[in-house]
Homo-oligomer: A and B are copies of this chain.
């Protein structure tokens, strides 16, 4: 099934769940929609923190069709949206046509699904996927570079791998510099300010076996965290795991 067909099924409500694994080799994107008055600060925040905030596309104010997704409609083609007002989640909805405004600027941001697919393609298992769980995510003591009203700590996702696979996993993800790239940390969680690895700030906890090492990547939750901290009038994002599917192949982001 091609990406446009999947978007159509999402639009009509035929598919309403998470998007993990449903788009084959197509890039899935994090979504952030903000009024134009915040758009410069957010774009600058993204440029200054390109590892956690890899920009795929920025739409003009009021635009809702992605250049990288034929016949798409940003207002309907994500299975589930979170609406935040002044930093608080106020509503979770399946389309945002009623909320849409001409001054809304849409940002599509890269997601770890792209490099995860490359890891899987190399024949390496990823534990949380095998267990059907969400990836574990943590706030760290790694500060982002502030821009305008936006600032805050880097959020990371963690995947445990056996020691002998670490170098290979690092190399694979280094090949996607514009999709979070290589890990920001390998090993002891406390070195990046994570006190309790069994208690992630977002997503699901995952056990780390004796012969495994935790590997940490910059995560697309970072910008959402920074935006909510700034308490803008409104932010609309995808609900976790419910991404926007583009027509771009993952390989196009491979260096």
Residues of A at the B interface (CB closer than 8 Å) are 36, 39-40, 43-44, 47, 55, 58, 60-61, 105, 147-148
- Could you list some 11 contacts between A and B, CB below 8 A? A36-B40, A39-B40, A40-B40, A40-B43, A40-B105, A44-B60, A47-B47, A47-B55, A47-B58, A60-B148, A61-B148
Residue of B nearest to A145 (CB): B67
**Chain B residues near A148 (CB-CB < 8 A):** 60-61
- Distance between A223 CB and nearest chain B CB, rounded to angstroms: 16
Q: Which of the residues B36, B44, B60, B61 comes within 8 Å of A43, measured between beta carbons?
A: B44
Contact check, B60 vs A147: say whether CB atoms are below 8 A apart: yes
- Docked complex Cα distance between A44 and B47 (Å): 11
Residue of B nearest to A36 (CB): B40
**Chain B residues near A40 (CB-CB < 8 A):** 36, 39-40, 43, 105
- Distance between A253 CB and nearest chain B CB, rounded to angstroms: 16
**Chain B residues near A105 (CB-CB < 8 A):** 40
**Chain B residues near A61 (CB-CB < 8 A):** 148
Most chain B CB neighbours (cut-off 10 Å) among A36, A44, A105:
A44
- Docked complex Cα distance between A113 and B61 (Å): 35
- Distance between A45 CB and nearest chain B CB, rounded to angstroms: 11
Residue of B nearest to A146 (CB): B60
- Docked complex Cα distance between A44 and B105 (Å): 11
- Docked complex Cα distance between A105 and B105 (Å): 20
**Chain B residues near A43 (CB-CB < 8 A):** 40, 43-44, 47
**Chain B residues near A39 (CB-CB < 8 A):** 40
Residue of B nearest to A48 (CB): B58
- Docked complex Cα distance between A61 and B37 (Å): 13
Given contacts A39-B40, A43-B44, A60-B148, 9 further A-B contacts (CB under 8 A): A36-B40, A40-B40, A40-B105, A43-B43, A43-B47, A47-B47, A47-B58, A60-B147, A61-B148
- Docked complex Cα distance between A44 and B147 (Å): 16
Residue of B nearest to A105 (CB): B40
Q: Can you list the 10 inter-chain pairs with the closest CB atoms, starting with the nearest?
A: A40-B40, A39-B40, A43-B43, A44-B58, A40-B43, A60-B148, A36-B40, A43-B44, A47-B58, A60-B147
